[in-house]
Amino acid sequence: MRGQIFNLAQAMRDGKSPVELVHMPGVLVERVRDH
């Protein structure tokens, strides 16, 4: 769960809204596994 919160904060910095994040679920999970 921690990774998802991190990605949410990162996306907000990139200027993406939470709604946009919902439409790209795979990307969030992949990013967490890379770290």
Domain boundaries, the chain: 2-34
**Residue 8: pLDDT band with limits 50, 70, 90:** confident
CA 18 to chain centre: 9
Percentage above 70 pLDDT, the chain: 31
pLDDT of residue 24: 60
The residue whose two tokens read 């939470």 is 18
Using the predicted structure, report yes or no on whether residue 23 has a pLDDT greater than 70: no
Mean pLDDT of the chain: 66
Q: How many CB atoms lie within 10 A of CB 6?
A: 14
Single-letter code of the amino acid located at 22: V
Task: Report d(CA 22, CA 35) in Å as an integer.
Answer: 21
Report yes or no: 4 and 32 within 8 Å, Cβ to Cβ: yes
What local confidence, expressed as pLDDT, does residue 7 receive?
A: 73
pLDDT band at 2 (very low <50, low <70, confident <90, very high): low
